[in-house]
Chains A and B, each alone.
Chain A
Amino acid sequence: MWKRAACLVIALAACTASSDDRTTPTAAPPSSSNQPRGDWRARIAADASELRSSAPAHYAELRGAAPQTTRAHTLRFTTELIRDPRAASVFLERLAEGSDSAEVRAALVEALPRTGGIYADAVAELIVNERDAAVRTAYVFTMRRAPADLAIAVLARGLADDDTSVRAESARSAAAHTDGARLAGELRAALSASDPQLRVEAARALGILRVTGAQPELSVRLSDASADVRLEALRALDRIAPGSLTGRPALEALASDPDPRVARLAASLAGRATTTTP
């Protein structure tokens, strides 16, 4: 994994989809306030210095802020304290130092978009040296509304991560990003991954992103051994080209799939086809 670090910066603009892939916007455009300005380390150092001198108590609070335990047993910052763009710099400072526990680091990362500050350029670098998969997963998640080039680079790296959970989150976050279809090639490749969870997320992402070129691979996945994969492949094909499954034997077969969700969706699609066919 660490050997891939050097590839990251080079990959910033290299991860583009094939030209035949039609795309549809998904998430809202990234906030212009999150566009990086200069070197991120210099920026957070300057921000921290300014905060230390102008609001030392606030700086100390942010430096010492501890996340609360959520109802899901994860850690999360739930105070108004973090709704301050300067909090992003302080949290990045803590992340760069790496002295917090992995659980707290994941919470610091999760909070970054909620600060309203600039973080994406730092994330692109910090993720490279992060050893904990849960923290890397959190980094990937923050890319959903990050500027496109940075986001695509981080997500591409995430799709090649050693850890399945990071790869799966990268696929989900690609689906949620406006320019996620630039990762169509990686997502199509992920349809053949050995881990069914990754195949599920790749199929979902390709459907949400309306990647028309993925239809052949998705059709193959209709007979995947995993019911979750079959479900998402079926759903993705319908999202890409509604009604395109009409009359296909695969749809009829899936209507009696042992998994009730697959069977229900297939029956629904067949019914819809029936009602829309003269």
Chain B
Amino acid sequence: MSRFHATLLCCLVGACGGGSGGGDDVPDNPDGGLTTDAPEPDAPTGPSWMFADVDGVPNLDDDDRSGVEDWTQAPFATDDDYSTLTLSAEALSLVTPGGEVELTLASGADDVALYRDGQRVLGGATTRYAFTPAGAAIELKVAFRDYAVSAQLVIASGEHTDTVALQAAPLIMNHHLQPAEALWATAIDGNESFIAAYQQALGTMFTAVPGSSVDWDVWMQDEFEFATLTASQGQRMDVVIDSIRNRGLNGLAQDLWVDPGTIAQTWGNPQLRTTYDSFGNLEASPPVTVDGVAYPFGKIYYGRVGSSGMNTTLGTFLASQKVQAPFQLPTSWLCVGHVDEMSSFVPDPSSPKGFKLVISDTNAAWTLLSSLSSSASLPRYGADHGYPTVGSLLNDASLRAVNDDVQADYLDPIVEKFKAELGLTEADIIRLPSLFEQVSGCNGRVAALIPGMVNLIIAKPTGSTTTHLFTADPFFRASGNQADDPVIAAFHALMPDGMTLHFLDNWDVYHLGLGEVHCGTNVRRTPAATWWTDARHLLGGN
């Protein structure tokens, strides 16, 4: 079926239920499957069969907790991941009395399975199935083997024929602006204030994972990336992309999240892991349109240049999902080497795109520092970074050189890359005052000197009107009062209106551990948009 007709008929056929949405001018016909609309140019004469395409989620979970992936099993009552293809009684009434309807998998037979009354009738080696209608509608359950697989099903009887596209959902990574359902961080000695701030702001949607259960691994962002699979009949499956990093948090996905409806999967060889395989180095932008092409789920970006970066097994898989068209950024100049150390996104309902890219900017930091008193005392920076005053930062030629070079060699080109890949202009960008410094043991690579406030968490609880932004307290002051902090004041001034800002004390456990707020947090979010209508154009030949 043509894409045009697929859309037109979406409300005509039972296979497109669950809010798939068709055109408003299409008459409601729940028994659908038959139309007397103008036939396609190359269609045979007489009424056409035009069945709706079928989308679904790959049946990768284990709804009956049998220890076996549901795809390998026949349908059972609690398996909610099948899609239904309905051949309506009205459509089947056109079959010549006593005649057969023939279903043929013209492609993709290994990637789908079709069941009728619990019996597998198509898929694998079985590519043809015929039956004689008996007056009633026929329902076929459709299962998909893997992410984004597709098949073509030809339905024919006499002069009536149609080809139905069967399409599995692509894996779609969440971006920061989707509603937040749950957040997690690891609680250890020393981050009590950090944990309390989340609990106070978010209540029960925040969970503190006991450090003792995860070998005191606080880098919650790095072990997992949440993604989703959805389909038009209301299916949702959450996918925890489990990193090959495999430190203390490894195993938490199985302990905490894997369940009917949620799976965990790993791409890559843990023996070959590098710091770039942690998922602070894997993010997705909000929805964008680039050169006229809409990316309703945004685009994925991760750190890799040449042979150095996130593993290609995962990178290749993510690219194969097509709808979030990944691109790569250089991160090897950073000691940790993650994209979340220098970039993020915040909502901005007042802007045309609805968001702003937030990027670290060293020039903005020097400008800010130059406006301050050189003698202003910075006790935390004196103790832990060797810079006791604003003047000591301003007067360090080596620090200036390091930051100038980072800006020229990496941050400026990264901004240009973001502009090109996401269709951004300067108006879409917030340049956040940031300074980096070389750190011991990193061979000249740098980490945040001023706590990386770009490393932030956006959480708008599902159903809430409040958008929370959590970031590091920069402690760029001598007092204990955040109101006295010029870096916080600058952050406030730069951020779009409409967010509740929280400046968390993450100095010891996170900042000195070469990470910040985003690094120590993970978020499960509600899927946004509908790929089967909004992103078909990106799936190409599928």
Contacts and interface: CB of A to CB of B under 8 A. Distances in A.
Contacts of A71: 219, 222, 275, 278, 280, 336, 338, 513-515, 519
A75 to B, nearest CB: 9
Contacts of B251: none
Interface stretch (A13-21, A39-47, A106-114, A148-156): A106-114
A116 interface: yes
Contact of B408 (A137, A141, A264): A264
Nearest to B273: A73
Interface string A66-104: 001111111011111001000000000000000000000
Contacts of B408: 261, 264-265, 268
Interface stretch (A23-31, A118-126, A217-225, A250-258): A23-31
Interface stretch (B27-35, B363-371, B388-396, B529-537): B388-396
Nearest to B512: A78
A169 B443 contact: yes
Contact of A26 (B335, B398, B409, B519): B398
A179 B369 CA distance: 25
Most buried by A among B275, B336, B397, B438: B397
B247 A204 contact: no
A78 B513 contact: yes
B384 to A, nearest CB: 5
Interface of A: 24-28, 68-74, 76-80, 83, 106, 109-110, 113-114, 116, 134, 137-138, 141-142, 144-145, 165, 168-169, 172, 175-176, 201, 204, 207-208, 231, 235, 239, 260-261, 264-265, 268
Interface string B377-391: 000000110111000
B509 interface: yes
Contacts of B336: 70-72
B159 interface: no
B217 A80 contact: no
A85 to B, nearest CB: 11
Most buried by B among A74, A76, A142: A74
Contacts of A73: 275
26 contacts: A24-B397, A25-B395, A28-B388, A70-B513, A70-B515, A71-B338, A72-B275, A77-B512, A78-B190, A80-B508, A83-B383, A109-B440, A110-B441, A114-B383, A116-B383, A134-B441, A137-B440, A138-B440, A141-B441, A165-B443, A169-B444, A175-B398, A235-B405, A260-B413, A261-B409, A264-B413
Contacts of A83: 383
B508 A78 contact: yes
B441 A137 contact: yes
A172 B442 CA distance: 12
B504 to A, nearest CB: 15
Contacts of B190: 78-80
Contacts of B275: 71-73
B398 A76 contact: no
Interface string B172-194: 00000000000000000110000
Most buried by A among B189, B247, B278, B441: B441
**Interface of A, helix, strand, loop or mixed by DSSP:** helix
Given A71-B514, A78-B508, A28 B441 contact: no
A231 B408 CA distance: 12
Contact of B514 (A76, A145, A208, A239): A76
Given A26-B396, A204-B401, A261-B409, A172 B438 contact: yes
B392 A28 contact: yes
A145 to B, nearest CB: 5
Contacts of A28: 386-388, 392, 395-396
Interface in B296-347: 335-338
A27 B514 contact: no
A168 B444 CA distance: 9
B398 A176 contact: yes
A268 B405 CA distance: 13
B216 interface: yes
Given A27-B386, A114-B384, A69 B247 contact: yes
Nearest to A204: B401
Nearest to A30: B386
Contact of A78 (B401, B442, B509, B519): B509
A130 B387 CA distance: 29
Contacts of B405: 235
A169 B515 CA distance: 23
Contact of B440 (A68, A110, A207, A239): A110
Given A27-B396, A71-B519, A165-B443, A176 B514 contact: no
A176 B217 CA distance: 33
A76 B396 CA distance: 25
Contacts of A109: 440
A116 B388 CA distance: 12
Given A71-B222, A208-B401, A113 B386 contact: yes
Interface in B199-223: 216-219, 222
Nearest to A165: B443
Nearest to B437: A176
Contacts of A175: 398, 401
B144 to A, nearest CB: 37
A106 B441 contact: yes
Nearest to A103: B441
B136 to A, nearest CB: 61
A26 B444 contact: no
A237 to B, nearest CB: 14
A106 B409 CA distance: 30
A141 B387 CA distance: 16
